[in-house]
Amino acid sequence: MKIALITIHKVSNYGALLQAYATKVVLSKYGDVQTIDYNNGYLNNQLNLIRFKPSAHGFKMLFHDILRLPFHYKLIKRFKLFIHDKMNLTHEVNSEFLNNGNLKKFDVYVCGSDQIWNPDILNSNAILDPIFFLSFAPQKAVKFSYASSIGHYNYNDKEKKVIKQLLQSFKSISTREEDGVVKLKEIAPDREVVHVVDPTLLLTKQEWLKEFNIKEQIPNEKYLLVYSVPRTELIKKAIHYFSKKLNLKIVTIDKMLFPITKVDVHVRNAGPKEYIALFANASFIVTDSFHGTCFSINFNKPFVSISIGKKTNRILSLLKELNLNDRIMYDEKDFDTTDLSINFTEVNPHLTKIRNQSLNFIHKTLKIN
């Protein structure tokens, strides 16, 4: 079976790339998987060493990139090497090439996961991209979505009409968040929409370590790991509170020139493998990232997830399903009432259950007669 996967893969975002890889690994159990090397321009510029736009922010970004160049060069090199070696790419294509039907034929076309259905992150104008709804796939081909996420976005009436039309030819539809199910059911009430886990949770901790040839070990000095994207004031307070409470040194995965706050180790150039290793060997994790939360849970690490407002819906959906609602921090006062340990013997059966349900969704869809 030949399977085509379209997702967000050509970025220097750890979560996006690792979810893409996990999706490919799982689909590979059913056939030969190729990742469509779709260049939408906006997302792919993350892999540029130097970025510039003619604006005040653009000049600031340019200056920042120049200063961090030695670290950023190594990071980008690691990401590009991983994408080239691990994602089994088609040749690079654009929307015109795909819509003209020039892509070689596949038996199955899969879109997902990550926020491929959230226009806010796909381009600067927040325009829906039909390519991520498999608009280019042959009408009679087997098409399905795996954990395609809408994020916090709310579609307008025009977008809903377009999406309804695009989803008509899907064999199966699934999304990553509970509110995503609600939004899609409103658009296509006659279709079943399945709630599944993020692809990074389809692989167990042992499978992740095996994929990257990483040995879990007790580091010479235990550490609190920080992985933050928006860098809010609340997470800065959480870092200081929990590192002091646990008497742990602070290690942060942070591509920026300067760390989010005062830390002991600032890892600026981690590639996907280094990211996984740092999570695997951490003693405690403070994050405001959805995928940071996923890996904390999957690797059975005590953690807290810091609320970032309306964009926290992805984290909340996962924590609710695993009865871990108490790990979300909305305010500084939540720190004092948070357990420093987590009973993963209660969490893991729930995780195994939803993982198997999601794997079964893929199996049923790909069990083609």
Query: Could you write out the three-class secondary structure of 190-241?
Result: CCCEEECCCHHHCCCHHHHHHHCCCCCCCCCCCEEEEECCCCCHHHHHHHHH
Given a cut of 70, whether residue 369 has pLDDT beyond it is no
Q: List the alpha helices (DSSP H) in the chain.
A: 14-27, 56-67, 69-86, 95-99, 119-122, 157-167, 178-187, 205-211, 233-246, 272-280, 290-298, 313-321, 344-366
Q: What is the pLDDT of residue 218?
A: 79
pLDDT by residue (tens digit) across 141-168?
999 999 999 999 999 999 999 999 999 9
Would you say 61 and 52 are in contact if contact means Cβ atoms under 8 Å apart? yes
Give the predicted TM-score (pTM) of the model.
0.95
pLDDT by residue (tens digit) across 30-47?
999 999 999 987 888 888
DSSP string, 110-148: EE-SSSTT-HHHHSTT----GGGGTTTS-TTSEEEESSB
The percent of residues above 90 in pLDDT, for the chain, comes to 85
Q: What is the pLDDT of residue 48?
A: 87
Given a cut of 70, whether residue 91 has pLDDT beyond it is yes
pLDDT by residue (tens digit) across 329-350?
999 999 999 999 999 999 999 9
Question: What's the average model confidence in pLDDT over 108-113?
Answer: 95
pLDDT by residue (tens digit) across 279-334?
999 999 999 999 999 999 999 999 999 999 888 888 999 999 999 999 999 999 99
Question: What's the average model confidence in pLDDT over 342-364?
Answer: 98
- The structural domains of the chain, ordered by start, are 2-202+354-366 (3.40.50), 205-338 (3.40.50.2000)
Given a cut of 70, whether residue 368 has pLDDT beyond it is no
Given a cut of 70, whether residue 191 has pLDDT beyond it is yes
pLDDT by residue (tens digit) across 198-214?
999 999 999 999 999 99
Q: What is the pLDDT of residue 58?
A: 77
